[in-house]
Amino acid sequence: MSARNIPTTKAAKPIPADKRQNSERLTTILIAPHVSEKAARVGEKANQYVFRVRTDSTKQEIRAAVELMFDVAVEGVQVVNCEGKAKRFGRFTGRRNDWKKAYVSLAQGQTIDFAGVAKP
């Protein structure tokens, strides 16, 4: 067999020291919950919550941040990179910033209370 026929796997890149999971960084990963009709529909159907997150965050960091901040068990994370729109302001053209959205699936029976109302 020649060397060309041997399948190769990509080695996982080590996480840089500035992106390692420490609690200080994890508290800055989640920017805000994303409120929309689709987010409400997904929340009811699949027990998923949608968050706006930092553009340089990873799925592992998002999972750890949600588990740290809301004390829930995360089942999975899907990430969407949203491109900013090109906009015009009179004769000037501009562009909105790119942003990242995360769909976080929680384990069965887990919920997140955004209102912060204490339950008796």
* Alpha carbons 63 and 71: distance in angstroms, whole number: 11
Q: What is this structure's pTM?
A: 0.76
Q: What is the pLDDT of residue 113?
A: 85
Segments in 56-118 forming alpha helices (H):
59-70
* pLDDT tens-digit readout, 16-48: 565 556 888 999 999 999 999 999 999 999 999
pLDDT of residue 67: 93
Per-residue buried b or exposed e for 5-37, using 16+ beta carbons within 10 Å of the residue's own CB? eeeeeeeeeeeeeeeeeeeebbeebbbeebeee
Domains of the chain and any CATH numbers: 19-106 (3.30.70.330)
Question: For residue 15, what pLDDT is reported?
Answer: 56
Q: CB burial class (10 A; 0-12, 13-18, 19+) of residue 67?
A: middle
Q: So what's the pLDDT on residue 26?
A: 92
Average pLDDT, 10 consecutive residues per value, the chain (120 residues): 56 57 88 94 93 96 94 95 94 95 95 71
Q: Give the model's pLDDT for residue 14.
A: 60
